[in-house]
């Protein structure tokens, strides 16, 4: 928030639009609300959820993640766990940009790139 204020008139429209959201989040933290991380399997596509007294943001709250991509992920995961990033792209019908966003938020940690199992994977 301080950075957006510091930018003043040079702040982008996106930053300006984000400011009231950041104010609300700050207020929630000050009132004792806790937030859980976005999770590939636990986050709803478009709705915030309450879990163990904390708030879990939806997949589409990731900046750049559209509702259609989030819904595709939710629908695909209901049919079983993903075995790789390639599997997510194929079953959820999402592209590399969506995978990059999920990686940035730590949603794909430990997941292999492809459906192929390598000899080296089985040795670890």
Measuring CA to CA, how many Å separate 79 from each of 15, 72, 73, 87, 95?
A: 37, 11, 10, 12, 19
End-to-end CA distance of the chain: 44
44-100, pLDDT tens digit by residue? 999 999 999 999 999 999 988 999 999 999 999 999 999 999 999 999 999 999 999
Total-model pTM:
0.77
- Residue whose C-alpha is closest to residue 1's, from 17, 23, 34: 23
CATH node for 34-113: 1.10.150.870
DSSP string of 27-94?
HHHHTT--BPPP-TTTS-SSS-EEETTEEE--GGGSTT--HHHHHHHHHHHTT----BHHHHHHHHT-
Domain borders along the chain are 1-33, 34-113
pLDDT digits (tens, 9 = 90+) for 7-55: 888 888 877 777 888 898 889 889 999 999 999 999 999 999 999 999 9
What dihedral angle (degrees, nearest 10) is formed by the CA atoms of 31, 34, 38, 41? -130
Torsion angles phi and psi, residue 67, rounded to 5: -65, -35
């Amino acid at each position: 928030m301080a950075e957006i204020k510091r930018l003043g008139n040079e702040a982008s429209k996106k930053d300006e639009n984000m400011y009231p959201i950041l104010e609300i989040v700050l207020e929630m933290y000050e009132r004792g609300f806790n937030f859980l991380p976005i999770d590939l399997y636990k986050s709803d596509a478009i709705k915030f959820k309450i879990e163990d007294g904390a708030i879990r943001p939806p997949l589409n709250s990731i900046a750049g993640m559209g509702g259609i991509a989030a819904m595709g992920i939710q629908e695909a995961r209901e049919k079983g766990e993903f075995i790789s990033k390639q599997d997510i792209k194929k079953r959820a019908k999402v592209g590399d940009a969506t995978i990059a966003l999920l990686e940035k938020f730590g949603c794909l940690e430990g997941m292999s790139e492809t459906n192929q199992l390598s000899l080296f994977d089985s040795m670890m």
